A and B are shown apart, each in its own frame.
Chain A
């Protein structure tokens, strides 16, 4: 056969008129196969699309409509235009407080969490014995982190008579109730989120395994030290994975609910220092029955997350390196 070494033609490039008939035949076969694969993929995706359409989309659109009304869950509703949206910024200091708490939480805990995850992944990647065990142990908090049980445990760990203070006591430091003090309560939740570094760590580990060893060998021969290798080989080749983790964790952190809800006893105690955005939405909707206002806040959160994600994608052009460009 002639022309068997033809490289796959980039999508959308003009067909090569000089190519042989058999190559064109192979092309057609490939296209057919791809169509079949696409069909299979859509078939597998169908249940998800069905769920989206019939279960999620309805309430989603309904809540968008409700965000322009004063719907109160057990009463009627009137169209009030953008009032709910302006109220957030002009007439609701608690909303701003919740937004501030959540922003601090996200922008402090996510970078720290990713740094920890990367550090641990690097250590584990060095071929420790019993890697599988370590991986599982470090991954465990990711599975447990957002559970009620862990949040209750956190109250104990950072309470006045908690584990953390007993630890400080070993060094003669006098602790206090970290969850009862408005200036430190949010900090304990940040620590909790950082502690759940397992899932980005596992993804980092997979990313590290993708980097060819011969890059390091070549760099080593050229006299590059470990630190240089890390910054000039590992980090650039890992940027797509870092980017992926960043987006995922940012979105997740903005939606944190359980931890704050349990640690604060459901009301943002003390002094609203742990009042998270989603918690405030929940409280307004199901405690105050202001479902219209809660819907507006929920949609504003969607906008925030969408903008942030879009911004991230824009910025990614400048720092994320995909092997082929």
Chain B
């Protein structure tokens, strides 16, 4: 790696000084050396614990495939896409890299990803989830696992306030609001029912219950009325005191789950991805229960879905397509790799791997898997790869939401404003 980087830097330096450099001199014949050995560059984002287990799994892969050497590079989430897109733009993309659904569509449509059909065995993967790795019909990416969006309830806060946990098999948005208000009233000072959020997954569930979806044909697929109702929900939650005042709600929404209401035992509920369950439990020291999403009265779909946690993809211009496919195949299908990686990149959705490792997973993940099993029959399809420009949508949704709860915009005006701005950003 250092050798190649130096070469690249030297090329840039020479080009900058105006020296003539033939493409052959800089030609990236990285990898295949004289001895038939192959070098794979692999990138992902995450924290120290993820780096450690991923390296362990890669070591195992290298032991099984002595002709392949893997060079891993990883970063934190914050700087991951900066680095990845810069490398892709410079024609120096890694052979294998992690990506998530918000950018998958854009990368795929801009021909930066390789077709993985036939390169990775996908027989044991959840077919619905697998389909989320397709862009315009091409399997550009393989999901590593899944998360589900759910309501989390801090059972200790409910108990202390003397309020029963709601029956989540059939509760409505109105029930959600009522039980929140009840909790705030019964909980005493500094205790709140729930904390609001403007996450796009929440909107996706809400809209699917009305037969709409966040994205449709490269544009926003949600009607003004539905979006206004969704914003109204949060405004009402604050008005009925089910949630703290707008300023504190905004503050909480930007905090991590450790500093959330349920994480600090100051509130009964909130919504997160299931992979946050263990963090909430650790922070609060209490039992956190997963509840199904409330429903609109008369809804035909629960709206709940499995979100691919992240994907593995291969660079379109990688010269090591076969080895790259082999590595991904190993990471998602090999039971030993599964044992090492656990649920770090989402709940495992490979039936073969899951059978082997389920009982070894941490309790929070087993609880999440039980939850997924419980709602499996109700699940809607996972979202398709997002349209270009979708990376801006979550923050935009939140910004208009903050305008609503701060009283700067009515829900209707916010819904109209969002749709106009979002649709001009997309595509």
Contacts and interface: CB of A to CB of B under 8 A. Distances in A.
Contacts of A207: none
Given A75-B110, A160-B251, A179-B251, A272 B399 contact: yes
Nearest to A183: B406
A283 B396 CA distance: 12
Contacts of A75: 110
A267 B398 contact: yes
Contacts of B408: 182, 271
Interface of A: 54, 58, 72-75, 155, 159-160, 176-182, 264-272, 283, 286-289
A270 B13 contact: no
B402 A271 contact: yes
Given A182-B406, A267-B399, A269-B399, A288 B250 contact: no
Contacts of A155: 251, 254
B89 to A, nearest CB: 5
Interface string B88-116: 11000000000000000011001010000
Contacts of B85: 73-74, 286, 289
Contacts of A264: 254
B24 interface: no
Contacts of B107: 74
B17 A54 contact: yes
Nearest to A148: B78
Given A54-B17, A74-B107, A181-B406, A288 B251 contact: no
B16 A54 contact: yes
Contacts of A266: 78
Given A74-B112, A269-B254, A288 B402 contact: no
B402 A270 contact: yes
Contacts of B247: 160, 176-178, 180-181, 270
Contacts of A269: 250, 253-254, 398-399, 402
Interface in B391-410: 391-392, 395, 398-399, 402-403, 406, 408
Contact of B248 (A177, A267, A268, A289): A177
A286 B81 contact: yes
Nearest to B15: A58
B221 interface: no
Interface string B60-90: 0000000000000000001001100110110
A154 to B, nearest CB: 12
A75 B389 CA distance: 13
A172 to B, nearest CB: 16
Interface string B239-263: 0000011111111111000000000
A268 B399 contact: yes
A185 B246 CA distance: 13
Given A54-B16, A177-B248, A270-B402, A287 B392 contact: yes
B391 A288 contact: yes
Given A179-B251, A181-B250, 11 more contacts: A74-B88, A160-B247, A176-B247, A180-B250, A180-B254, A181-B246, A265-B254, A270-B406, A271-B408, A272-B399, A283-B395
